[in-house]
Amino acid sequence: HFGRPRQVDHLRSGASRVLVASRNFANDATFEIKKCDLHRLEEGPPVTTVLTREDGLKYYRMMQTVRRMELKADQLYKQKIIRGFCHLCDGQEACCVGLEAGINPTDHLITAYRAHGFTFTRGLSVREILAELTGRKGGCAKGKGGSMHMYAKNFYGGNGIVGAQVPLGAGIALACKYNGKDEVCLTLYGDGAANQGQIFEAYNMAALWKLPCIFICENNRYGMGTSVERAAASTDYYKRGDFIPGLRVDGMDILCVREATRFAAAYCRSGKGPILMELQTYRYHGHSMSDPGVSYRTREEIQEVRSKSDPIMLLKDRMVNSNLASVEELKEIDVEVRKEIEDAAQFATADPEPPLEELGYHIYSSDPPFEVRGANQWIKFKSVS
């Protein structure tokens, strides 16, 4: 039905219905995107790209869903319904949605602990994610993983140890190569983890073995409360693979991220080995829920990013100005998304917690049941695969 004129019915001031004239939308539009900075590469991703109306509406809905889901998590946390660690990614939606748009569902992705957005873009429902955050049975890890430990098909989770997912990602890329499949692994880490020694060890092995690994530094300018300038002697993260080629990408523009990802994936699939991507992005929330996020940066700074480079706003403006969608239609999507999040939150607060006897379950994936010792030697839990 895309591209065909449709009539949008609106309720204005109570019962008076005004029929908005049906419009012919364009099927696609071409946009100029920011040129990537390159390291050890002759040429980079294209500087123009075509966005279809169908894709545009899909990206808009996905980014809006991630944004609303994170705001709902913030609310549930403040109501003490979500406890423990909780790192939100609002402001960084163009990264998770743009990366997914540039790869295949059969490709692989592993990230650090700011993982709610990726869990959604990799195919899990908001219900399963919010129920995992509240520690309920219906959560994607049966309520046992929480914010930092969610998994999906070809998604190897959030990982709680800073930088530890990077060698694992290189290992997943090794498996891709070993199995002879034309697949790549996206290995994500933040600017805070970028100075970890294990990252450089993983670079070295990936380069030696020409692994199909895209190392992606999500640079949101602060590692916890420390700005990149105070933490890194070189903030050119895309160059820090030294012998590995790199790209610096506008991580607030979904089209930039998508094109760079397509370019990097094609590079890896062609057998040239690993490549680095630095996504320049920004988080609106603090590092985690215990960080108000304004002691090391000003409210004005956050406000400026929100008003000038918000990823959802940028996509919306592009689509409306190029006649790919109407403001009314995007508002309808907003309403649908809010309802979906509201329903998911209802489920996540009403769903029961897992029973205590399941504490020892799922230690192994396919083993006969055995007993696990509890807090003392007389307490025993059964473990079922």
> What secondary structure does DSSP assign to 264-319, as a single string?
HHHHHHTT---EEEEEE---SS-SSTT--S-SSS-HHHHHHHHHHH-HHHHHHHHH
Q: Judge whether residue 110 has pLDDT over 60.
A: yes
Compute and round to an integer the Cα radius of gyration of the chain.
Answer: 22
- pLDDT reported for residue 16: 38
* Contact present, 260 and 102 (Cβ < 8 Å): yes
Q: Judge whether residue 73 has pLDDT over 70.
A: yes
- pLDDT reported for residue 296: 98
* Contact present, 33 and 260 (Cβ < 8 Å): no
Tell me the C-alpha to C-alpha distance, in Å, between residue 350 and each of 139, 337, 340: 12, 20, 16
Cβ neighbors of 332 (< 8 A, separation 6 or more) are: 8
* Contact present, 259 and 33 (Cβ < 8 Å): yes
Q: Looking at per-residue confidence, does 10 or 27 come out higher?
A: 27
- pLDDT reported for residue 59: 98
> CA geometry: angle at 375 spanning 374 and 381, to 5°?
15
Domain ranges of the chain: 28-354, 359-384
pLDDT in tens, 239-297: 999 999 999 999 999 999 999 999 999 999 999 999 999 999 999 999 999 999 999 99
Chain mean pLDDT for the chain: 94
* Contact present, 246 and 40 (Cβ < 8 Å): yes
For the residues 110-126, what does the mean pLDDT come to? 98
- pLDDT reported for residue 23: 77
- pLDDT reported for residue 22: 55
Specify the CATH number of the domain 28-354: 3.40.50.970
- pLDDT reported for residue 21: 44
Model pTM score: 0.92
- Rounded to whole angstroms, the Cα distance separating 216 from 187 reads 6
pLDDT in tens, 55-69: 999 999 999 999 999
Q: Judge whether residue 13 has pLDDT over 90.
A: no
Q: Which residues pair with 8 in a beta bridge?
A: 20
pLDDT in tens, 205-249: 999 999 999 999 999 999 999 999 999 999 999 999 999 999 999
